[in-house]
Structure 1
Amino acid sequence: MIAIGGSKTLMPVVSLFFGIVIRMYFDDHPPPHFHAAYQGFEAFVRIEDGEITQGSLPRKAARIVRQWALDHHDELMANWQRGIALEPLEMIAGADLDD
């Protein structure tokens, strides 16, 4: 787990691919989303459709993250539900392992 900004709030990494780090907070605010970070950029990405709702990513990284979110929608939603219940989150295969 990674402490963000030195706070006691932990945001576990749930996937890592092509240098893109995907994290989810426990008991986060709706709508269901995850945080994607890449080379100093950070974005909140809606699980429903893979759209960036806050922040930004470089265009190519944003396309990869969107497609990955669509491909792993069910796993992301399962992790969202685990996070709401304060249960351990599971790792999700990265886009570099997708067929």
Structure 2
Amino acid sequence: MSTKYRFRDKYRIQLREKDHPPPHVHLTGGGVDVMLSLDTVEVMMGKAPPLIIKEALAWVAAHQVQLLEDWKRCYP
């Protein structure tokens, strides 16, 4: 598991090396586990406070290219 970003002292965006398609990352911490799509940059599954989702999706959008490259290295 690789933490790509930490914010608000308890939330993390993680790329899990032993995961499954489609390409996604996990928003974890503070009692949440949300899957965020790397293709569409939207919530795939799970719930979290709207402001946390908004911040996480903004970060994923800004780093989408690198995250997809990282995903492809894990799942060629």
Answer yes or no: is the 8 Å Cα contact 1:49–1:69 preserved in 2: no
Q: 3-state DSSP class of the match of 1:77?
A: helix
- Number of aligned residue pairs: give it: 75
- Quote the offset at 1:29 in angstroms: 1.3
User: Higher RCO, 1 or 2 (CA under 8 Å, sep at least 6)?
Assistant: 1
**TM-score, structure 2 normalization:** 0.85
Answer yes or no: is the 8 Å Cα contact 1:49–1:70 preserved in 2: no
Q: Answer with 1 or 2: which has the greater Rg.
A: 1
Which residues of structure 2 form unaligned runs of 5+? Answer: none
Higher share in strand: 2
Q: Does 1:78 align with 2:66?
A: no
**TM-score, structure 1 normalization:** 0.67
Report the aligned-residue RMSD.
1.4
Q: Which letter maps to 2:23?
A: P
Q: Where does residue 2 of structure 2 map in the other structure?
A: 12
